Copies of this chain bind each other. A is one copy, B any other.
Amino acid sequence: MIQIDFADARPIYKQLIEEIKMLMVTNEVKNGDRLPSVRDLANQLEVNPNTIQRAYRELEHAGFIQTVPGKGSFASGRKEVVKARKKELVKELEKVIEHLWICEVSDEEIMEIVNKMSERKHK
């Protein structure tokens, strides 16, 4: 279910964090679901267990999962994830648009891109 890309510039643990958040946002991992154990995931992805542990640790720190020693890690609070993610994305969107303006791309052109994407989606 989770895939990492060794060619990606981002470190593996950050890729993991993003992937797991994504699974929660898309509801593929629901509230209370148990995540794979550190060892299993490490074996499956051929990655150092420390790397998995670091991803889980940061996810727990951010409140997205809960780790119960001896039992495993459990997903928590989809709503919060979505809300936080949305905030991040809106910020990113604003940044991208500002940079597009600098490249002499008009609002109309931006709108057009959004519209085209929307049409493609609804087909």
Q: Which residues of A contact B (CB under 8 A)?
A: 6-7, 11, 22, 25-26, 61, 66, 68-71, 82, 85-86, 89-90, 92-94, 96-105, 107, 110-111, 113-115, 117-118, 121
Q: Is the pair B118, A107 in contact by a Cβ cutoff of 8 Å?
A: yes
Main secondary structure of the interface of A (DSSP, over half): helix
Q: Is the pair A111, B113 in contact by a Cβ cutoff of 8 Å?
A: no
Q: Is the pair B101, A92 in contact by a Cβ cutoff of 8 Å?
A: no
Cross-chain pairs A/B with CB under 8 angstroms, 29 sampled: A6-B66, A6-B68, A6-B71, A7-B66, A11-B69, A11-B70, A22-B102, A25-B102, A25-B103, A26-B102, A61-B61, A82-B104, A85-B99, A86-B100, A89-B99, A89-B105, A92-B96, A93-B93, A93-B96, A93-B97, A93-B100, A93-B110, A94-B113, A94-B117, A96-B96, A98-B117, A107-B115, A110-B114, A114-B114
